[in-house]
Chain A
Amino acid sequence: DAGITQSPRHKVTETGTPVTLRCHQTENHRYMYWYRQDPGHGLRLIHYSYGVKDTDKGEVSDGYSVSRSKTEDFLLTLESATSSQTSVYFCAISDRSLRDNEQFFGPGTRLTVL
């Protein structure tokens, strides 16, 4: 299994507070992604990174920012959390050298914004 961890795994916070989710990989893969999963929508891409300090927006990036200062870490920040950001967040990694271009997913973070 690919070495991907997410922290925290569960978080409850209040509207208006900042929240940072961390994705950590031990595979030295180039690409990292943040998705959110909501009923009826499957997974939707928030932001992704194609290298250290190289990031780009995904389909649902409003209200989120990311940073990648090291290959192994990709941080997702909600500057001021809203109830609509209650979701399950998944991090994924991939690398062009991977056989079959598989994206490996982390275990997910369940975030509840009250």
Chain B
Amino acid sequence: AQKVTQAQTEISVVEKEDVTLDCVYETRDTTYYLFWYKQPPSGELVFLIRRNSFDEQNEISGRYSWNFQKSTSSFNFTITASQVVDSAVYFCALSGMVDYKLSFGAGTTVTVRA
């Protein structure tokens, strides 16, 4: 069985602060995918990133960065210099490489105050 844990339910920061979202996962698969999705107040799900389990290279995309550590089964997400538009619910997810079923964490609500 696969499990994704996002221990932080809510995070509130002031604009321009950095915020890190934690994600810990469990799986018996030796190869798998990890994802982050964003759900803004409008409700749609926006894909942010996918990582393969065999690629532990960290990634940066603009103000977003991801730290994948297979040894600790973690895939953390950092928003640098947060902006009000970053206010959303962020989901970490895991899937196998056969049927691509996603297992989601419960989500972390990020509120960025001006």
Cβ contact within 8 Å between B95 and A48: no
A-B CB contacts (within 8 Å), total count? 56
For the complex, give the distance between the alpha carbons of A92 and B107 in Å. 18
Q: Confirm or deny: B64 has a beta carbon within 8 angstroms of a beta carbon on chain A.
A: no
Q: Which residues of A contact B105 (CB under 8 A)?
A: 42
Chain B: interface residue count, which band?
Answer: 20 to 34
Q: Which residues of A contact B91 (CB under 8 A)?
A: 42-43
Given known A90-B45, A108-B43, contact A103–B104 (CB-CB < 8 A): no
Apart from A33-B102, A103-B47, A108-B43, what are 17 other A-B pairs with CB-CB below 8 Å? A31-B99, A31-B100, A41-B106, A42-B4, A42-B105, A43-B91, A43-B104, A45-B101, A48-B101, A56-B99, A92-B102, A100-B50, A103-B35, A103-B102, A107-B43, A107-B44, A108-B44
